[in-house]
Amino acid sequence: MATTNLKKLSDMPDLLSGGHAACPGCAGPVAIRQILLAAQQDDTYVVASIATGCMEVGTTIYPNSAWRIPLIHNAFENSAATISGVEAAYRSLKKQGKLDKKIAFIAFGGDGGTYDIGLQSLSGALERGHNFTYVCYDNEAYMNTGIQRSGATPKGAFTTTAPAGVVEPGKRQVKKDLTAIVAAHGIPYVAQASPHRARDLMNKVQKAVGIEGPCFINVLSPCPRGWRYAPDQTMQIAKLAVDTCVWPLYEIEDGKLTINYKPREKKPMQEWLKSQGRFRHLFSPKNEYLIEEIQQDIDRKWEKLLALEAMGAGESG
Amino acid sequence: MAEKMALTGNDSAAYALKQINPDVVAAYPITPQTELMHKFAAYVADGEVVTEFVPVESEHSAMSAVVGASLAGARACTATSANGLALMWEILYIAASCRCPIVMPVVNRALSAPINIHCDHSDTMGARDTSWLQIYSENCQEAYDNAIQAVRIAEHPDVMLPVMVCLDGFILSHTLEGLEVNDDETVRNFIGEFERSDKLLNVEDPQTFGMFSLQNYYFEFKKQQADAMENAPAVVEQIGREYGKLTGREYGLLDPYRCEDADVIVVGLGSTMGTAKQAADDLRDQEGLKCGVLKIRCFRPFPGEQIRQALQGAAVAGIMDRAISFGLGGPLFHETRSARYGDDAPMMNFIYGLGGRDLSLDDAKDVFRALAEAKESGDFEPAVRYVGLRE
């Protein structure tokens, strides 16, 4: 029986080893370790694909690999298409009696490889109904190539391609709601998670892996380099994202939305924005109006989520 | 037992794929490849193949999926044309570099713009540096035979590279031809089982595929690919001989036609070579011109030395290109000229048939006549000529 008992899990060997080249304080490897531990249990093996990005570049530097499960990296925009082929191969070889193992397939991608350049390939794989779980580790910009804006970058954030300058306040557009876009595909399971709530994340992974068909988990992955905070603050930052409702933890199972965590007292946007250097410029007098706007955006989305939960719906996100 | 069938080029490639019975096929429709995949999808729907068919949302994903399938340990195929091949570009290199022996019929079609659905070789010529083998077909029989041989060539341990089986769009893909097909068992025995030692689905020995490799290792990987390409000609020839023993239709790197005593030889690829052979016969009979045709079957790897030898007796060679390498000229011309470096060998380049413009029998004869005239006068200028171009 698969477990999310943290004590038991701490005795299990990590499936992503240490010694990789991710930056100090990167949430990515923390999330991936939790995900792999949750997924590869009992008689189930995990085979994964990964899009080009921080996690791929940092963990697969030839001739070393941090991965203790089979991993395939193909290119940037095709993690979902690649796992489609792998999963099709599995089905084919299994029905021919050439393979008898039980394998769960996970496709990893960052926000660049998922929200933007890989969106088509993800959408295609979801629509075709492959039996896999897509995990996006969302660090809200193209961090691997130097903190460029992505569709996942939130309004007001400083990036190297939407910098705050004399006339520009950073990114002007709101973050794309990818989780809602994915949910609109009507797939069996969609969730948002955060590595600071390990058990919640691992529960979600085990649900997804146990469900026949395509599943999707969007995991917030705070990035000290890009978000400009001290590397030892990563889990606090992740927690703050959830406590401010910037990153709600919820799941949509067969169309029914459940919010997994409701902060007793929603923390104000100011606190979130102040915690990271990427928002520092918002506190200058000429940009302050944006703080209120961002608060309103977040409030509106949270209210909508609550309403969807109350309706027992969720597909329209 | 071999059997006679009337098939179009698309049908013949689809029939070959059915007999190959790949573990995975991922494909996206594009004219003129469409009917190939309609046929194959019907084989899937009727349970005539074990294949898992993945009807992807783009050619980029088609190539991505077959790379995944191939590294997983499956025999994987796809098919495309023109813009579809162009959309695969990035992953073509990855497929070859990850040593995926994928077989892909490419139904040759002109690249946009202007958008055009008819035959030329701009699509596959653009892909000539991708480390894919390229085998061109003169007719539907060859498209069928080449697809089957391609599996053996691609999966040969000395090669382990993907293969494009090129067939001319519409001219072959949509033209019905009587051809001889093998029975399923013959094909099954000929191609054997696909087994790769380093497969991704080997979960008890987890490995990482498609790693990050910089100045310290990348170069060595590329040299291994170059070596595999060097090994390929001998493998193409060996498989061609084996196939010949089995079917009576033997294949090599080149297909010389009446070249032994020829004064003028036309060199080219694909269906046009059938027209050129007819023109050579006619001109030998009617005008006493000693014409020969050198069909290049295997364009990648480029059999330069074999071409050089085949052309040694000819006073002049005319190289037919159905593509332009802009800023350079005809790619086949330039590669042939390089292969003949040091030979005192006049050559002329004939660029023809772009966007499906027909090359008639008379056009082909005019090419031979132009070569014969140049031979007589000793004047080979202009060295690049456009056949059938509206002035």
Q: DSSP state, A154? A: P
Say if A65 falls within a structural domain: yes
For residue B137, pLDDT beyond 50: yes
Say if A284 falls within a structural domain: yes
Tens-digit pLDDT profile for residues B73-132: 999 999 999 999 999 999 999 999 999 999 999 999 999 999 999 999 999 999 999 999
Say what the pLDDT of residue A316 is: 47
Predicted TM-score of the model (pTM)? 0.97
| CATH topology match: B3-247 vs B254-387 | yes
Say if A4 falls within a structural domain: no
Contact partners, residue A131, CB within 8 Å, separation at least 6: A87, A91, A105, A212, A213, A214
Say if A281 falls within a structural domain: yes
Say if A3 falls within a structural domain: no
Q: DSSP state, A116? A: I
Contact partners, residue A80, CB within 8 Å, separation at least 6: A49, A107, A109, A118, A121, A122, A124, A125, A126, A132, A134
Contact partners, residue B59, CB within 8 Å, separation at least 6: B28, B30, B80, B83, B84, B85, B87, B88
Say if A240 falls within a structural domain: yes
CATH number at residue A93: 3.40.50.970
A89 touches B at CB < 8 Å: yes
Say what the pLDDT of residue A254 is: 94
| Every domain of chain B and the residues it spans | 3-247, 254-387
Confidence band for B57, pLDDT divided at 50, 70 and 90:
very high
d(CA B329, CA B35): 33
**Contacting residues of B for A125, CB less than 8 Å apart:** 61
Tell me which residues of chain B have a C-beta less than 8 Å from any C-beta of chain A.
Answer: 23-24, 26, 50-52, 54-58, 60-61, 64-74, 76, 90-91, 94, 200-203, 206-214, 217
**Secondary-structure class of domain B254-387 per CATH:** alpha beta
From the candidates A92, A122, A134, which should be mutated to test the interface with B, based on the most B CB atoms within 10 A?
Answer: A92
User: Domain range holding A44?
Assistant: 13-311
Say if A7 falls within a structural domain: no
Closest-CA distance, B44 to chain A, in angstroms, reads 12
Say if A8 falls within a structural domain: no
Report how many domains make up chain A.
1
CB contact (8 A) between residue B58 and residue A124 = yes
d(CA A152, CA A117): 12
In angstroms, the first-to-last Cα distance of chain B is 52
Say what the pLDDT of residue A313 is: 62
The domain made up of B3-247 has a fold known as Rossmann fold (3.40.50)
d(CA A281, CA A274): 10
B48 to A98, B12, B45, B294: CA distances (angstroms): 19, 16, 8, 39
Strands A250-253 and A189-193: antiparallel
Say what the pLDDT of residue B323 is: 98
A195 contacts A221 by C-beta, under 8 angstroms: yes
A19 touches B at CB < 8 Å: no
Average pLDDT score, chain B: 97
d(CA B192, CA B246): 14
**Contacting residues of B for A96, CB less than 8 Å apart:** 23, 50
Encode A145-183: b = buried (16+ Cβ within 10 Å), e = exposed: eebbbbbbbbbbbbbeebebeeeebbbeebbbbbbbbbb
Each residue's pLDDT tens digit in chain A (317 positions)?
788 888 898 899 999 999 999 999 999 999 999 999 999 999 999 999 999 999 999 999 999 999 999 999 999 999 999 999 999 999 999 999 999 999 999 999 999 999 999 999 999 999 999 999 999 999 999 999 999 999 999 999 999 999 999 999 999 999 999 999 999 999 999 999 999 999 999 999 999 999 999 999 999 999 999 999 999 999 999 999 999 999 999 999 999 999 999 999 999 999 999 999 999 999 999 999 999 999 999 999 999 999 999 997 644 44
Residue with tokens 């090419």: B367
* C-alpha radius of gyration, chain A, whole number: 19
Q: Which residue of chain B has the CA closest to A84?
A: B65
Q: What is the ipTM of this complex?
A: 0.97
Say what the pLDDT of residue B344 is: 86
